[in-house]
A = this chain, B = another copy of it.
């Protein structure tokens, strides 16, 4: 199978580097174009990048020339790790020009015809791409967003419980500093410190959660009818966003039944067979003190969400803790999974990925 060339916008930044890292050995996609800021444009990726992830940048991209943000792109599929300001209006321009843009930027997330896609949770929202193309007169182009990195563990954990009627959701986060990009959080602000504030994130969690858990019918998303209260904290950890969640349910199942809903959750076909899909998206840990940020963030190659401590809440129905890796599941990894879904659903023009049955190979 010929791999599909892809472009990465904002390729030298923190999330951009995760894209580069996760795509290094991807079975379907290969990075052919890297796009950076004016400061980087014209240099090779190896010259331009200040690599902040572990080890060194993969050798397959070192010699790619960094293109400026306004350069026309050859790749049909474009991943965007642009900051909000740079994303607008470039992402829409690229989609209008026929590119399929999978973006992490918050700019267009809450636009009605932009899907906030999370394959295991709301694969059917992909239908908004048709709406989007119709609304905007696009043909091959599309704009598909993924959520804020802290919204991710909430939505993942609540997806299997939707049919129980989730009336109230109260969440308090403990967010890693990598969520703020690079250089992001100054060490003097976070060593031996907790900051009970992350600019803008509470509002995102309170709205994105409802859109993502909503239903797609008659060409639009009907948001989940629920109320969310979100409180954010920045904590001195490198990666991994942990949330403490209280929920009120209409229909009350036993603790065992809830855990079983999580453990058995897989998402609809063909999602479990996508290359970046974790074998088990939701993992319930039975130890009393898990999930823990450092010990559980890399589970399922950083694509699984770990849950623990399900217990009654004196004020709601239940409370529990959930954890996702914020730059993998919560950012670049989710975009790639979204693109894989787009590929198998035929949204990437002629590109036909070779599916394999992961359950067999494991």
| Chain A interface residues (CB < 8 Å from chain B) | 14, 52-56, 168, 170, 172, 174, 177-178, 182-197, 199, 206, 227-229, 231, 233, 235-238, 240, 242, 244, 246, 285, 288-296, 298-299, 308-309, 313-316, 319, 321
Q: Are B231 and A196 in contact (CB under 8 A)?
A: no
Could you say which of A184, A238, A285 has the most chain B C-beta atoms within 10 Å of its C-beta? A238
- Find the residue from A172, A199, A289, A298 having the highest chain B CB count within 10 A: A172
Min Cβ gap A240→B in Å is 8
Contact of B195 with A192 in the complex, beta carbons under 8 Å: no
28 residue pairs from A and B, CB less than 8 Å apart: A53-B295, A54-B295, A54-B296, A54-B298, A55-B295, A55-B296, A170-B246, A170-B315, A174-B194, A174-B233, A174-B235, A183-B183, A186-B186, A186-B187, A191-B192, A191-B237, A191-B294, A193-B295, A194-B237, A194-B240, A194-B292, A197-B290, A227-B314, A229-B246, A229-B316, A231-B321, A233-B242, A235-B235
In Å, the complex CA distance between A198 and B54 comes to: 20
List 4 extra interface pairs beyond A174-B194, A187-B191, A191-B238, CB under 8 A.
A190-B191, A194-B242, A196-B321, A231-B244
- Chain B residue with minimal CB distance to A234? B289
Which residues of B are found within 8 Å of A309, using beta-carbon distances? 196-197
Chain B CB within 10 Å — which of A14, A174, A315, A316 has the most?
A: A315
Contact: A193 with B237, CB < 8 Å?
yes
Task: Enumerate chain B residues within 8 angstroms of A321, measured Cβ to Cβ.
Answer: 196, 231
Bound-state Cα–Cα, A315 to B206, Å: 11
Q: Which residue of B14, B186, B231 is within 8 Å of A185 (Cβ)?
A: B186
Q: How far is the CA of A228 from the CA of B314 in the complex (A)?
A: 6
CB of A77 to closest CB in B, whole Å: 28
A251 smallest CB distance to B (angstroms): 19
Given A170-B246, A188-B177, A188-B182, A235:B194 Cβ within 8 A: yes
B-side contacts of A293, CB under 8 Å: 192-194
Task: Give chain B residues whose Cβ lies under 8 Å from the Cβ of A242.
Answer: 194, 196, 233
Instruction: Specify which of B188, B194, B298, B319 is in contact with A231 (CB 8 Å cutoff).
Output: B319
Q: Within the assembled complex, what's the spacing in Å between the Cα atoms of A240 and B196?
A: 13
- List the 10 closest pairs (A to B, CB-CB), nearest first: A183-B186, A197-B289, A172-B172, A193-B294, A196-B321, A177-B187, A192-B192, A229-B315, A229-B314, A194-B293
